[in-house]
Structure 1
């Protein structure tokens, strides 16, 4: 499935139009799993192409010639951490900070020595500026692709937090646009820039544990709770709530809808599947050599809330099967990625590498064996690739494919049935309802 963005006279060339006009919920209305599925059905069959566009090659004039200039969009939590990492690199000058929450924006600007004049609410004010080379995207998930595509179309290279996308169709759109523009896009799945994850995947790829038969991935459960009933709350004066919602359906404000907890509402994210699956499922894809592909079958049986504000799975369990017969299971509980082969096992998590036989963990990959992309610093890898134009370790295509695996799991769990997936055409086989969930309708004035 493809998403189409229509050309606009705006500086970014981005205009998104939706079919969510007027679809306002009643006060305190709960979006149930059933309601979410009905929404998803609105977009079945939306397939169109992109206009050809020419990228800008103008570098910023507001910094010394050896410095790259950056705008940071979304600077709460991880976005702020990324901003500080870029600032600390001494090769990037942060020139603009953008957030729909002015308190976040001002705090972030101060952290990198900027004043209020460098603070903006609307990303469209900064991504098209000629004095900006790079854009860091640290927004909630439902804004990742709209902001990234706007930046790419404006000729910027992009560092976007994981999960790269909210939907499968968005991911295909961003990967295609990055390729069309010749832009560097790095996905923030930074485990690929850790030596123990790389070694684990090299051991697997070089046959150290024989033929792979099974992969298991553990992710956390929902670590936030909400009341069984909820009432709308006044919007804080520092928050532009309408812009925070952006392309998502309109819903009354509640503090647990925004900031960290957005991860647990399907309108904005995919729960812990996309939050942590974008790390551990990404490593599974890397180890299996599936960075440009995916499984052919998925079956889900997760559990979803029946009361309260949150709508993402409280208990995750889904299985996928690849064309080569490898079965991958992702479930709530534990953490990390375990590869099981006919001759051994490799388990990897942050700061941990365990193998059977045990001596494998200290093995050396020979000069004539498969050596995977080596990066020891995710931020640094992005900066180097901006300069050399080499693809980064977790580029848009890789980020899209790993995000797709997460989305497949969520879709299968929501539909509660086995689905056949074509990783070449990137669509479900003979299942209109499932294909309808590969994209989302967007609230006016944003369009697909």
Structure 2
């Protein structure tokens, strides 16, 4: 009850989420709250992406990072020991303390608490929300436990490692009436938003083709493949958590863990939550998805270090006969092709068949989509307003669903017919079973 009371207390404030009219619905409500009231954050996962998010939240008013958690005290990611930026619990505490000391203009008092077990962090009554930047195989477990503890959650993409985990996450968000933001930051970028509005306002005419271009996967090991004893400052068994404990090697740990399906979904699942997420936004299928998915031309690296595809293509069909390809062979980014023109968007660039569409001051039309210009701030604003974030759990789960289906299609060797409304593979029991599997290593579970 104490966390529910806290949530009610945080329910309303002067903060606003910047919704287009009628685009989002209220999630909760509460008492008036002073604009000086602070949102306390805990950060789980202190690698490179976790540090990026720490920097984002340190720049924002109205919040304070009060706790951090990682199973590794100190590391240098994939670099040689002692080279480059230091990550992990000890450097994170120092980084945050120094930032707050600089803001306050005084010597730090060491107020940040660190944990090696995220469950201790989420038990704290004074933490309102958590930021999760762990490897993918921990996303669902950390998220669901945090939601059950009464926390709002910001979790990096892909929202979950396994398909059914994603369903359980968005169901728990609804059950707890929580605020959830996926780290699909492209939704808070003006160029991606403009490309979506060009499509939504009908300037492309009838859209018939979508090209989603993603980077190649790992063709060969990205680091040292020698099996070694885990570093003493790392709790490797806890790092593996609900997934199998593979022999420790640097080629499969910091940065490169996503090359093996035990811990990630390869570059495919790393990037599909970016560019295909914008494709779904543009096609207005955030609560739906494709009608069929087929994996073609997949190739894998030799050896057993990685088992995710280096080359891959997904052929998808959406309602109305729209053909989509998600492939390493497409130009990296998103291209929407219609009867009256095309638009291409990627990070920092928007191109189109009509020169005016690419001009910064161009207004696509009357249809406006949810506008956010700062992804982290959008999360904080929505904690206060209790309205949905720009990248909620079910939306981002559905935008990566073609990737999950692609892995199943490749495994069974055939096209899958997809009932997007009910999230079911049609007429293929073998594929359905593979899609829904969650085989956690004991004693870990999602119940």
> In the alignment, which residue of structure 2 is the partner of 1:433?
430
Aligned mates of 2:251, 2:226 — CA distance in 1: 11
SS in 2 for 1:397: helix
**1:87 Cα deviation from its structure 2 partner:** 1.9
Q: Which one of 413, 428, 442 corresponds to residue 440 of structure 2?
A: 442
Q: CA deviation at 1:228?
A: 11
Cα separation, 2, equivalents of 1:227 and 1:163: 21
Aligned length: 392
Structure 2 residue 84 is the aligned partner of structure 1 residue 87 = no
1:116, 1:223 → 2: CA distance? 41
Answering whether residue 77 of structure 2 is matched by residue 96 of structure 1, we say no
Residue 241 (1) aligns with residue 236 (2)? yes
Alignment TM-score, normalising by the size of structure 1 = 0.83
Q: 1:16 corresponds to which residue?
A: none
Work out whether 1:340 is the aligned partner of 2:337.
yes
Q: 2: CA distance between counterparts of 1:244 and 1:310? A: 18
1:361: how far off? Answer: 2.2
**Larger relative contact order (Cα-Cα within 8 Å, sequence gap ≥ 6):** 1
Is the contact between residue 219 and residue 277 of structure 1 (CA under 8 Å) also seen in structure 2? yes
Could you tell me which residue of structure 2 aligns to residue 164 of structure 1?
Answer: 159
Moved more, 434-443 or 73-82: 434-443
**Equivalent residue of 1:316, what SS?**
strand
Summarize the Cα distance change of 1:391–1:203 in structure 2 as closer, same or farther, 3 Å threshold: same
> Could you tell me how far apart the structure 2 residues matched to 1:307 and 1:228 are?
14
The answer to whether structure 1 residue 108 and structure 2 residue 92 are counterparts is yes
Moved more, 306-315 or 131-140: 306-315
**1:187 match: secondary structure:** strand
Counterparts of 2:150 and 2:219, CA distance in 1:
39
Q: 2:356 aligns with which of 344, 348, 359?
A: 359
| Equivalences for residues 41-440 of structure 1 within 5 A | 56-58=4-6, 66-103=37-74, 104-113=88-97, 115=110, 118-222=113-217, 225-226=220-221, 230-301=225-296, 302-333=298-329, 334-362=331-359, 363-366=362-365, 369-438=366-435, 439-440=437-438
Supply the distance in 2 between the matched residues of 1:55 and 1:405 (Cα, whole angstroms): 36
State the Cα RMSD in Å: 2.2
Which runs of structure 2 are paired with 1:21-40 in the superposition (5 Å)? Answer: none
1:56-99 CA deviation, whole Å, 9 max, x = no partner?
A: 332699xx961110110001011111022112213211111100
Q: Specify every segment of 5 or more residues in structure 1 that has no aligned partner in the other structure, as ranges.
A: 1-52
